[in-house]
Chains A and B, each alone.
Chain A
Amino acid sequence: MLMKITGYADKISAAPGETIKFMVNSEAGKRYRADIVRLICGDENPDGPGYREKLVKTAANGSYKSRKQVIHAGSFVEIGASDVLDGLESFTMQAFIWPTTPEKGSQAIISKWRDRDKAGAALLITKENGSVALCLGNGKGKIQTINTGKPLIAREWYFVAASYDAKSKTVSLVQEPLHGYETKSDRGSVRRKSSVGRVPRHDAPLTMGAYFKKIDKGRTVCGGHFNGKIDSPRITNRVLSASEMQNLRSWPVNPELTNAVLGAWDFSADIMGLKVTDLSPNQLHGKITQLPARAMTGWNWTGEEMNWTKAPEQYGAIHFHDDDLYDAEWQVDFELTIPKGMKSGVYAARLRGAGHEDHIPFAVRAPRGKPTAKVLYLMATASYQAYANEHMNADAPVGQLLAGRLVQLDKFNLFLNEHREYGASNYDSHSDGSGVCYSSRMRPILNMRPKHRMWIGATESTLWQFNADTHITDWLEAMNIDYDVITDEDLHYEGLAAIEDYNVVVSGSHPEYHSIEMWDAMVAYQQRGGRLMYLGANGWYWRIQYHSEVPGVIEVRRNEDGIRTWEARTGEYYFSFSGEYGGLWRRNGRPPQQLLGVGFTAQGFDISSYYVRNPDSYKAKVKFIFEGIGKNEKIGDFGLIGNGAAGLELDRADRALGTPPDTYVIASSVEHTDIYLVVCEEMLVSTPGVGGHENELVRADITFHETQNGGAVWSTGSIAWAGSLAHNNYRNNVSRMTKNVLKRFINPKPF
């Protein structure tokens, strides 16, 4: 049975005195119970330390009334009601479009429509045959859709227009392909009398990329979502001639035509924000909802300029998707003000009702400016967010090849598979096949949960990201190490100030996504003598950016190189949020080896392996790391993630990529399976022999190097590392080595 209770919070972290709001969808009985719990270990595997959470008494704990809350996915542009649009009689609507799913049913391009009584007009793609059409409704039951009868070809640019003469009741349609495929019969123009009669005045909003349906608890709800790009939409108050339509493609236009223009929207303005700008004197500015993709190449993009900030006029397209989602915008169900004295850590609001359960995780920080420990655990929330509600488990045929076994699903996956409105991850593709470049936490993220198992988490516990990282918090607790917690988002917004007071920063198992603000803060921390324990792999890999106007959403552009589950289209490599070049940090002149000593080299998701010591490990400088560990011991030939400490994604040292020359490469992993393959950015020429059995690049290196002013970095080079910490009741060489390093890193004495 699918989950009947889900929720999210408005913040990912809070310090004492600050308030977090929780939004809950519950059909789990008439009432549900909410309790705040401190999360210790989210792994339910009975072969491990066992699931552990501690109930925390707070004012928020209690019984709450259930209510169903739904998500309206799908993006659009909304222009508020205005006199000039409300009384639309004769008109022309025109735009350039690049449809991606013309066969998928009715999709509105420009719409002035009131769905309640089916009144108004909409330029759309018709479900009848996938051609351009004008739909008119008189609000009294009469609706007519006139189309060109020429199905559009997906992923080609068209100029499209529809005119309506209110006096003669004549509809004119233009569907003009900009491609040069001579034998394709997709050019169409139609002129026909409408039988609808008078289209009434109404004050429903003008929308683009969808048609207006209703207001639901303050949210504009639309239907007929358009998949694809729209560029340069226009509306006039009269029928335009062909040459006038041609003139109106650009702006400005001559005064006579200007007087006829009600709205001429320029999607290349305000690309970084939510605003949509009207160039006409009416200034009918609007906004985007649910974050359609901006900074998209337009109909006139020449290919000569890749950076939208240098040629914005060629980036006048917005790509809409019927499954875009930024904010679920649910009603608040309860709030938690973090009590004074609540210990910093990873917490969750645990929701239970009628046998159903969900957890909404968040971090409790130390009181502002008052660290309570020498160790800081940096919760990799940007990376959790990039993976938010990942659907590869049900969508991607390569899953079982990557995992080297059957894909495993759990209750969270089953729910997400059926509830696509909960939005996708930066690993997924939209329903039209284009990549998901934005991912938000303003919605339930059901794979950022304790008890969740993810198919790429190797055999045994099968964990990944958030839940895998509870092996780290579990170990810190078991070792009685005091630690504070902050999130990636805190580091992004506060920079060095968020971490500078700590002796040691401990990373998660897979901190893959970082903004330049986060990166620079970590460099500054290291230069000031800070010490980083990088307990993972494939870290500091993708560049991201947060939105400048709205909270909790990141942008990723999967450019040109790296392990990519989709590829940014050529010309769409720069963030819409900031104008920065996206893609790999390695392709931004910052390979992770510079910061960490190691960087991504190989991946595989079946079983893990172990490390052997290298000659560097016997040098005096790094003796402290191996205290209590024998000369010939295999390091980590056990564990809850694939039965070994070296597994999943692997990092290695490489001087050519920036590993500091004084780095000690103290151990390297061996004996990986052929499911493990060298990452594509390491292969200029595709060659045989890139699997674990043959290729020496398929290995994890454990490294240590010093930074300025007594700082240091210790890296484990493997995502699976943390899964071995608890083995044999924490008495094992992975735990020992990690504790040796942590104890020494806490001690401020230079090395």
Chain B
Amino acid sequence: MPSEVESRAIEEFRKTPIGHHSPELQVILNELRGQPMEDKHCLVCTKANREWQLAKTSGVRGKPVKMLSKKFTNLEDAEWYVFKQRWKQLRGETLR
């Protein structure tokens, strides 16, 4: 389970994934967003400012970016989705 401080930060992120953040949330984001490039989530813009497809970089020069099936129509949803994925990967916990 996330700690109380983490829970507050997670809730803060869910409401505002991009923008002004508390120091507690920023520390978490520095870890989650600073992961190496191998299998790292990114977005491929498929309709300008309207649609983005989830993808993963390979971390190897020249090796294709892997396109995933999931698509988003706003960046906030994409950020929250990837946040949960990374939390699960790094902390082993499922966020809802």
Contacts and interface: CB of A to CB of B under 8 A. Distances in A.
Interface of A: 43-47, 391, 393-398, 400-401, 404-410, 414, 417-418, 420, 431, 451, 453, 459-462, 606-607, 671, 673-674, 693
B33 interface: yes
B61 interface: yes
The 6 A-B pairs at the shortest CB distance, nearest first, are namely: A44-B48, A400-B33, A45-B49, A407-B42, A405-B18, A408-B43
B75 A418 contact: no
A409 B55 contact: yes
Nearest to A400: B33
B84 to A, nearest CB: 13
A606 B57 CA distance: 20
A10 to B, nearest CB: 28
B34 interface: yes
B34 A420 contact: no
Given A417-B65, A674-B23, 20 more contacts: A43-B48, A44-B48, A47-B49, A394-B61, A394-B65, A397-B34, A397-B37, A400-B33, A406-B82, A408-B44, A408-B45, A408-B52, A414-B44, A414-B64, A417-B64, A451-B48, A459-B18, A459-B75, A460-B49, A607-B18
Q: For this complex, into which size category does the number of interface residues on chain B fall?
A: 35 or more
B64 A395 contact: no
Nearest to A693: B20
B88 interface: no
Interface of B: 17-21, 23, 26, 29-30, 33-37, 40-45, 48-50, 52, 55, 57-58, 61-65, 75, 78-79, 82
Contacts of B52: 408
B42 A408 contact: yes
Contact of A420 (B50, B61, B75): B61
Nearest to A394: B57
Nearest to A424: B61
Interface centre among B17, B26, B42 (most CB of A within 10 A): B42
18 contacts: A45-B49, A397-B37, A400-B34, A400-B40, A401-B33, A405-B75, A406-B42, A406-B75, A408-B42, A408-B43, A408-B44, A408-B52, A410-B44, A414-B44, A414-B64, A418-B62, A461-B48, A674-B20
B61 A395 contact: yes
Given A420-B62, A460-B49, A406 B36 contact: no
Contacts of A420: 61-62
Contact of B36 (A397, A431, A453): A397
A410 B45 contact: yes
B60 to A, nearest CB: 10
Given A406-B79, A408-B45, A606-B19, A398 B34 contact: yes
B55 to A, nearest CB: 7
A431 B61 contact: yes
Contacts of A404: 18-19, 29, 33
Contacts of B50: 46
B43 A406 contact: yes
Max chain A Cβ within 10 angstroms of own Cβ: one of B49, B62, B65 = B49
Nearest to A406: B43
Contact of B43 (A395, A409, A671): A409
B52 to A, nearest CB: 7
B73 to A, nearest CB: 13
Nearest to A453: B45
Which of A393, A417, A453 has the most chain B CB atoms closer than 10 A to its own CB?
Answer: A417
Contacts of B61: 391, 394-395, 417, 420, 431
Contacts of B42: 393, 400, 406-409
B21 A674 contact: yes
A418 B17 contact: no
Contacts of B44: 408-410, 414
